[in-house]
């Protein structure tokens, strides 16, 4: 599927610096992400001269199967869409063990290679894995400072002046998501057509490369049902019942969506597995625009008629949180928290062992009671872990809510939309 955005609309990616650093440190760098996030554009923009080989080329793909070592002879080399020939990882390992040199192999894939059942080699000790998510709003608008205000929450001296205040427009960002082609589409109709083509391409080509699926309509129905459950606890039994499919089939379909870098199952934060916490995972999508399209939300009136707008706001904000996490996957983690009495925190961010809790609110006004879940979470941590601060992100203005608690506007994370 061809991208519809022009060369003039290409944006710099925040991950570029991490990618360049990784190429100087290890012999293999693996860059994964959903189709159309811009992986190929990113690796081809690197200043170092590299041989570029795409496994979307059927001739190259045949060579990868019949004579894989010949593709690795000219180094440094970039192997694009390597999930199409996962057996290439063994020859890469052999070459690295024969001659170890930083940056020799850059692999891109539209599937998480570590989740693919066909991959027998993880390249442990030889590779670093990076994830390129779709654009978040501030990255697309190339704003100076990126997501630095989020980092300020981890500092002991956080001040309200560290957090920008401006009007937000989350509905428009939700509908567009973070794929460059959808963001730069000339009209709402063109964007809807692009999403339809994206899903069709995924079902008819990418999905078949990952696994045999007997019924594409069944799979697409599971996609739509999962999209309508975004930002909620995933109950596979309920989803299977609504889809009219066996639970093992639904489980396999969800695994394929996660392997294809489209679905994210966010795990709960816990310090003690025996405590009375909810052990299930929350379902989110790597691209909020795709999730909205799958759920039948294709215009602002569609969204206005929904009774679950709070969940969709959470899904839209996740677009920025996953970008924040991707910039340091070793030091940054993302969770949610919920106990069996129903007290919850929408997102728990961890940075180098320090915790920040975020509650997401669509309303203009918040009160200290809106941070009750954060207070309960702080009490649950005990003496061994410390919550640096908690914040209720809402549509109003910034103010203190209590000791280490803040009401902060989410507007700057989803500012006025511009192409």
pLDDT tens, residue by residue, 9-63: 578 999 999 999 999 999 999 999 999 999 999 999 999 999 999 999 999 999 9
Q: Is residue 192 included in any domain, yes or no?
A: no
- 3 pLDDT band, cuts 50/70/90, is very low
Order across the sheet with 282-285: list the strands: 232-233, 282-285, 263-266
Q: Are residues 127 and 142 in the same domain?
A: no
* CB-based contact 411:167 (threshold 8 Å): yes
Please give the C-alpha separations between residue 12 and each of 146, 171, 326, 418, in angstroms, as whole numbers: 12, 24, 15, 16
Give pLDDT, residue 47.
92
* Distance, CA of 105 to CA of 16 (rounded, Å): 16
Q: Are residues 371 and 308 in the same domain?
A: yes
Q: Is residue 285 included in any domain, yes or no?
A: yes
Domain CATH number, residue 55: 3.40.50.300
Pairing of strands 232-233, 105-109: unpaired
- 204 pLDDT band, cuts 50/70/90, is confident
pLDDT tens, residue by residue, 116-125: 755 556 788 8
* Distance, CA of 208 to CA of 312 (rounded, Å): 30
Give pLDDT, residue 282.
97
Q: Are residues 335 and 220 in the same domain?
A: yes
Residue 284: count other Cβ atoms within 10 Å of its Cβ: 27
Mean pLDDT of 60-75: 92
Give pLDDT, residue 273.
57
Q: Are residues 148 and 127 in the same domain?
A: no
Pairing of strands 399-402, 127-131: unpaired
Give pLDDT, residue 279.
77
The domain of 355 spans: 137-178+211-413
Average of per-residue pLDDT values in the chain? 92
Q: Is residue 196 included in any domain, yes or no?
A: no
pTM of the model: 0.92
Q: Is residue 204 included in any domain, yes or no?
A: no
């Amino acid at each position: 599927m061809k991208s519809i955005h022009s060369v003039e609309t290409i944006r710099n990616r925040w991950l570029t610096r991490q990618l360049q650093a990784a190429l100087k440190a290890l012999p293999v760098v693996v860059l994964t992400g959903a189709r159309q996030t811009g992986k190929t554009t990113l690796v081809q923009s690197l200043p170092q001269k590299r041989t570029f080989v795409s496994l979307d080329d059927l001739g190259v793909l045949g060579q990868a199967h019949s004579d894989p070592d010949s593709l690795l002879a000219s180094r440094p080399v970039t192997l694009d869409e390597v999930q199409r020939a996962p057996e290439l990882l063994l020859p890469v390992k052999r070459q690295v063990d024969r001659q170890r040199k930083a940056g020799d192999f850059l692999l891109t894939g539209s599937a998480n290679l570590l989740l693919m059942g066909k991959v027998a080699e993880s390249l442990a000790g030889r590779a670093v894995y990076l994830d390129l998510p779709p654009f978040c709003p501030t990255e697309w608008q190339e704003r100076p400072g990126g997501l630095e205000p989020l980092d300020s929450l981890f500092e002991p001296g956080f001040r309200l002046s560290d957090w920008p205040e401006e009007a937000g427009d989350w509905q428009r960002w939700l509908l567009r998501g973070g794929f460059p082609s959808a963001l730069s589409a000339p009209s709402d109709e063109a964007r809807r057509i692009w999403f339809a083509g994206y899903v069709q391409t995924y079902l008819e080509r990418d999905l078949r490369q990952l696994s045999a699926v007997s019924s594409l309509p069944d799979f697409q129905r599971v996609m739509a049902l999962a999209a309508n459950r975004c930002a909620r606890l995933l109950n596979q039994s309920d989803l299977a019942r609504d889809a009219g499919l066996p639970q093992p089939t639904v489980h396999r379909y969800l695994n394929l969506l996660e392997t294809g870098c489209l679905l994210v199952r966010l795990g709960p934060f816990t310090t003690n597995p025996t405590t009375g916490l909810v052990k299930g995972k929350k379902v989110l999508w790597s691209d909020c625009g795709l999730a909205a399209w799958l759920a039948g939300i294709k215009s602002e009136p569609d969204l206005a008629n929904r009774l679950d707008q709070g969940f969709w706001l959470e899904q839209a904000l996740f677009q920025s949180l996953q970008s924040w996490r991707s910039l340091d996957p070793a030091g940054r983690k993302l969770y949610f928290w919920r106990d069996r009495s129903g007290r919850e925190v929408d997102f728990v961010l961890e940075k180098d062992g320090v915790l920040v809790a975020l509650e997401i609110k669509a309303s203009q006004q918040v009160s200290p009671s809106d941070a009750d879940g954060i207070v309960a979470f702080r009490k649950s941590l005990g003496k061994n872990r410390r919550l640096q601060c908690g914040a209720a992100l809402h549509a109003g203005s910034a103010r203190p809510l209590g000791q280490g608690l803040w009401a902060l506007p989410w507007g700057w994370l989803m500012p006025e939309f511009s192409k």
